[in-house]
Structure 1
Amino acid sequence: MRAPEPEKRLTAEFAESAEVGRGDGNLRQRHKDTKEEGKSKRSVEKSRSPFPQVTNHKSQITVPPTSTPTHLRPRAVILCGELSGEVYAAGLTRELVSGGMEVFAMGGERCRRAGAEIIRDYSDLSVVGITEVIENLGHLKEAMGQLIDKIKELQPDVLVCIDFPDFNIRIARKVRKYVGKLIYFVPPQVWAWRRYRSRMLSQLFDRIFVLFPFEVPLFDNGEFHGHPLAEQVKPEIPESDFLAHYGLPGGRKRVLFLPGSRKREYRALMPVLLDTATRLRARWPDASLMLLPSPAMPVDEANVACSALSPVTVIEPVHKYTAMAVAGLAVGASGTVTLECGLSGTPMAVLYKLNPVTTAVGMLAVVSRFISIPNVVLDEAVMGELVNRDCNPGEILRFAEGIFESDGVAELKKRRLAELKQRLYREGSYHRVAERILELL
Structure 2
Amino acid sequence: MKYYLVAGEASGDLHGANLMKALKSLDPQADFRFFGGDLMQAEGGTLVKHYADMAFMGFVEVIANLQTILKNLKSCKQDISAYQPDVLVLIDFPGFNLKIAEYAKAQGILVCYYISPKVWAWNQKRVLKIKRIVDHLFCILPFEVDFYKTWGMDVDYVGNPLLDAVSAFQADPDFLQKNNLAGKNIIALLPGSRKQEISRLLPDMVKAASQFSEYQFVVAGAPSFQADYYDQHLDGNAIPIVFNSTYDILSHARAAIVASGTATLETALFNVPQVVVYKGGKVTIAIARMLVKLKFISLVNLIMDKLVVKELIQEECTAEKIGNELCLLINDAVYRQTMLANYDELDVRMGQPGASAKTAGLIVKYAAKA
TM norm. shorter chain > 0.5:
yes
Distance (whole Å) between structure 1 residues aligned to residue 50 and residue 248 of structure 2: 30
Structure 2 CA distance for partners of 1:313 and 1:167, relative to 1, 3 Å = closer
Residue segments in structure 1 that go unaligned for 5+ positions in a row: 1-73
8 Å CA contact retained: 1:151, 1:178: no
Amino acid at match of 1:309: N
Report percent identity of matched pairs.
Answer: 28
Structure number with bigger Rg: 1
Structure 2 CA distance for partners of 1:295 and 1:118, relative to 1, 3 Å = closer
Amino acid at match of 1:81: G
Counterpart in the other structure of 2:110: 181
Counterpart in the other structure of 1:222: 155
8 Å CA contact retained: 1:353, 1:391: yes
**SS state of the match for residue 308, structure 1?**
coil
Structure 2 CA distance for partners of 1:230 and 1:276, relative to 1, 3 Å = same
Q: How does 1:26-425 map to 2 (within 5 A)?
A: 74-98=1-25, 99=27, 100-219=29-148, 220-233=153-166, 236-237=170-171, 242-243=175-176, 246-249=180-183, 254-278=186-210, 280-281=211-212, 285-304=213-232, 308-310=236-238, 312-318=239-245, 320-425=246-351
8 Å CA contact retained: 1:198, 1:218: no
Distance (whole Å) between structure 2 residues aligned to residue 226 and residue 236 of structure 1: 21
- State the number of aligned residues: 359
Amino acid at match of 1:342: A
8 Å CA contact retained: 2:8, 2:51: yes
**SS state of the match for residue 194, structure 1?**
coil
Give the TM-score, by structure 1 length. Answer: 0.76
How far does the alpha carbon of each residue in 1:91-111 deviate from its partner, in whole angstroms, 9 at most, with x for none? Answer: 112222341332211123322
How far does the alpha carbon of each residue in 1:181-223 deviate from its partner, in whole angstroms, 9 at most, with x for none? Answer: 1111012112322222223212321111111111112221211
Distance (whole Å) between structure 2 residues aligned to residue 114 and residue 407 of structure 1: 43
Distance (whole Å) between structure 2 residues aligned to residue 293 and residue 424 of structure 1: 27
Distance (whole Å) between structure 1 residues aligned to residue 146 and residue 133 of structure 2: 17
**SS state of the match for residue 333, structure 2?**
coil
Amino acid at match of 2:203: P
* Per-residue deviation, 1:304: 4.5
8 Å CA contact retained: 2:171, 2:248: yes
Distance (whole Å) between structure 1 residues aligned to residue 140 and residue 93 of structure 2: 15
Structure 2 CA distance for partners of 1:408 and 1:124, relative to 1, 3 Å = same
Distance (whole Å) between structure 2 residues aligned to residue 410 and residue 265 of structure 1: 27
**SS state of the match for residue 421, structure 1?**
helix
**SS state of the match for residue 77, structure 1?**
strand
Amino acid at match of 2:93: F
**SS state of the match for residue 328, structure 2?**
helix
Give the TM-score, by structure 2 length. Answer: 0.90
Distance (whole Å) between structure 1 residues aligned to residue 51 and residue 216 of structure 2: 36
Residue segments in structure 2 that go unaligned for 5+ positions in a row: none
Distance (whole Å) between structure 1 residues aligned to residue 284 and residue 235 of structure 2: 32
8 Å CA contact retained: 1:329, 1:348: yes
**SS state of the match for residue 236, structure 1?**
coil
Which of 347, 350, 354 pairs up with 1:428? 354
* Per-residue deviation, 1:418: 2.2
Distance (whole Å) between structure 2 residues aligned to residue 199 and residue 433 of structure 1: 23
Structure 2 CA distance for partners of 1:83 and 1:243, relative to 1, 3 Å = closer
* Per-residue deviation, 1:115: 2.1
Structure 2 CA distance for partners of 1:388 and 1:306, relative to 1, 3 Å = closer
* Per-residue deviation, 1:307: 7.1
How far does the alpha carbon of each residue in 1:61-100 deviate from its partner, in whole angstroms, 9 at most, with x for none? Answer: xxxxxxxxxxxxx222111111111111111122223413
**SS state of the match for residue 128, structure 1?**
coil
Distance (whole Å) between structure 1 residues aligned to residue 145 and residue 292 of structure 2: 19
Structure 2 CA distance for partners of 1:424 and 1:300, relative to 1, 3 Å = same
Structure 2 CA distance for partners of 1:267 and 1:179, relative to 1, 3 Å = same
* Per-residue deviation, 1:313: 4.3
Distance (whole Å) between structure 2 residues aligned to residue 273 and residue 309 of structure 1: 11
Decide which moves more: 149-158 or 361-370.
149-158
Structure 2 CA distance for partners of 1:301 and 1:150, relative to 1, 3 Å = closer
Counterpart in the other structure of 1:3: none
Structure 2 CA distance for partners of 1:314 and 1:172, relative to 1, 3 Å = closer
